[in-house]
A and B are shown apart, each in its own frame.
Chain A
Amino acid sequence: MKRILVAVIFLAIIASLFLLSLQTGIINLDSSLLNLIGKRTGIDAITVWEVRAPRALGAIVIGSALGIAGVIAQSIFRNPLAEPTLIGLTSGASLGSVVAISTGAAVYGSTLNALFAILFSALAGLSIYLLAPANGLGFLITGIAGSAVFISIAGLLITISPNPGIQNLSFWNFGSLAMLNNSTLKVISPLIAIGIGGAYFVTRKLDIYSLGENSAHYLGVNSGRVRLIAIGVLALLVGPAVSSVGAIAFLGLLVPHVVRLLIGPSHKNLFFFSALLGAALLLGADLLARAAFAPHEIPLGLLTSIIGAPVLIILLKIRVEQWVSND
């Protein structure tokens, strides 16, 4: 009952934020949203359907993806601080995108660009997973170090690339939904949908998996294979997002923790509610990014980092004390 109530509240928040997104901006709409339905010409219709709608829909798609990615990352690595940004997947995706654009292999917003991001994200996740020491803190530190390497290589490529189409470096560090339009949204949505499908499959194994590797083994779950699949799924969730809007840090860290507080730890519920909360948070953050310093807009990734980093510090403090006392 409580879950249904929470779900309804989330859906209502998402719907209102979505409508608010369509109406918020520099241009004051002369006609109401209802009148604009079906219209394709005129400044109001172009503004709503070509600028604001893809942004708001993108926030929902990408927010859900990042929320789910947070759940998967935390569960699969049995580490409550694991998050795509902290374990190198985000910066791997950034690097993939930068490689594609700087070499001229792909342009921003293309399917190939998203595929590069997915591939590099998966390779990054895999290499950090294989290189990291077994304990939780070691894994995170390896991830952060790996991220620094990926971002540096991306920065180097941007600096020496003769391709003027390469985007501003800050975009890959602090993402923004400003560049999202309908064609880009059409490219990333199916890829993210595959990722969400894969994530649903993985979460069904995760409840068993979180009992511990030995128990999982006896219940017929191959932990090594689940981890590999999970890294692929994470790359499908993170790669298209990063290739189109840049890095949005900490959303995946924040969301599962808040959801656990609200509805408890079962992964199937976590999956669904993390998607909802991720969508709501990203929609809200995007509105704030557009409104806070209007008519200028700040990169959304700045906001998520400003809010997310202190949360990480608090969580880390609790967790490290546990890790240290366990040793």
Chain B
Amino acid sequence: MGRLQHISAYRRQVWCDNGQVRQRDISATALLTIGLIFSTQPSAYALEIPLNKTKLAIVNSAEKPVFTRVVALAGGSAEIIVALGYKSILVGRDIASTMPRLSDIPIDTDAHQMAVERILSQKPDLIFIDKNSGPRTAIDTLKKAGIAFASVPDAYNLKNIVRKERLIARKLGVPEAGKMLAKKLSNFKHSESKIKVVFLYLRGNSAIYLIGGKGSGADSIISAIGFKDVGSANLKQPFAALSSEALIAMAPDVILTMTKGLESVGGISGLVKLPGVAQTPAGENRRVVTVDDSLLLSFGPRTGELLPVLRKSILKVAAR
């Protein structure tokens, strides 16, 4: 049961398209991220893409936003507002927005609940929320104070990121900035490659080893950079337990994991001891790419920066 709970909690947190994000789960991501920022140990042999490998490129459309004091509580909305070039209007954010650049913006939640009085004290004119923002009673009270609300949908694939960026930009009255930002993601061009990649979700401490399938989130990233995601080609569900036969049949050339995940199984030497891994081309040749946990899952403006870096890394290890 513990295992199932963990899986479902994880899926809600970041990957699942039906967006059952639970706010308390995000705190785990936040903790993980904080841990990551301070951990400098690279995983032995694996090619690691750390948090600082991607820079957030900020667009400049020179538009004047119609709102001047904005609280961004919807997942990822604070990051998007910064990328649109309007950090100056941001007066509050949610605890899950962990980008270092946001550290000077006050957090407006306590135990994942909106802190009404703190938000009121910042005198915002617009609050971005998503379906996990709450409680409803807090929203009702803030509406009575005349504050406008805008609801933002979740994004767990590239198409939705673009939609989310443009929606936030339109709401702020800066549609050109939205178009400029969205272009960065849609402009990414690449040639198709035959290299087969599999995403493994690993949590060694809880003995959780999963293969990412259709809808895992990683599938959209792998295919966006032109590789063949053998996980989603073979699995209809977002995640399935790692079985040696399934993995060997997929015969991935490269394994993609999250940095903390690989660490939790004891690095590459621990990874190849998991059932089936050593019998794949990827395991045999130690072809592993890891991405900072919060970066791989960010599904926002940094995703566009991650794509070329990740493509290059996968090509590099595939040549091993």
Contact = CB atoms under 8 A, between A and B. Distances in A.
Contact of A168 (B112, B116, B120, B146): B112
Contacts of B123: 43
Interface of B: 5, 8-9, 18-24, 110-113, 115-118, 120-121, 123, 131-132, 134-138, 140-141, 144-146
A168 B140 CA distance: 19
Given A160-B8, A164-B131, A178-B113, A43 B120 contact: yes
Contacts of A168: 23-24, 111-113
Nearest to B22: A164
B117 A27 contact: yes
Nearest to B130: A164
Contacts of B110: 178, 296-297
Interface in A124-182: 159-160, 162, 164-165, 167-171, 176, 178-181
A183 interface: yes
A47 B21 contact: no
Contact of A299 (B23, B111, B115, B121): B111
Given A50-B145, A168-B24, A178-B115, A27 B121 contact: yes
A165 B24 CA distance: 12
Given A26-B121, A51-B141, A178-B110, A159 B5 contact: yes
Interface string A289-325: 0000001110100000000000000000000000000
Contact of A108 (B20, B132, B137): B137
Given A165-B134, A181-B140, A51 B20 contact: no
A51 B144 CA distance: 11
Contacts of B22: 164
Given A164-B22, A165-B134, A297-B115, A181 B120 contact: no
Given A50-B141, A164-B132, A169-B24, A179 B117 contact: no
Interface of A: 25-27, 41, 43, 46-47, 50-52, 107-109, 159-160, 162, 164-165, 167-171, 176, 178-181, 183-184, 295-297, 299
Q: Which 10 A-B pairs have the closest CB atoms?
A: A181-B137, A46-B145, A27-B121, A26-B121, A50-B141, A179-B135, A164-B132, A25-B117, A181-B141, A164-B131
A151 B9 CA distance: 18
Nearest to A181: B137
B8 A165 contact: no
Contacts of B9: 159
Contacts of B20: 162, 164
A47 B121 CA distance: 9
Contacts of A171: 111, 113
A180 B137 contact: yes
B206 to A, nearest CB: 14
B115 A46 contact: no
Contacts of B111: 168, 170-171, 176, 299
Nearest to A52: B117
Given A159-B9, A178-B116, 13 more contacts: A25-B117, A43-B120, A43-B121, A47-B117, A108-B136, A162-B18, A164-B20, A164-B22, A167-B134, A168-B24, A179-B113, A179-B137, A299-B111
Nearest to B144: A50
A181 to B, nearest CB: 4
A41 B117 CA distance: 15
Nearest to B24: A168
Contact of B8 (A43, A159, A167, A176): A159
B121 A183 contact: no
A168 B135 CA distance: 10
B141 A46 contact: yes
Most chain B CB inside 10 Å of its own CB: which residue of A168, A171, A183, A297: A168
Contacts of B145: 43, 46, 50
29 contacts: A26-B121, A43-B120, A43-B145, A50-B141, A51-B116, A51-B120, A51-B141, A52-B117, A108-B136, A108-B137, A109-B135, A109-B136, A109-B137, A164-B21, A165-B134, A167-B113, A167-B134, A168-B112, A168-B113, A170-B24, A170-B111, A178-B113, A178-B115, A179-B137, A179-B138, A180-B137, A181-B137, A181-B141, A183-B137
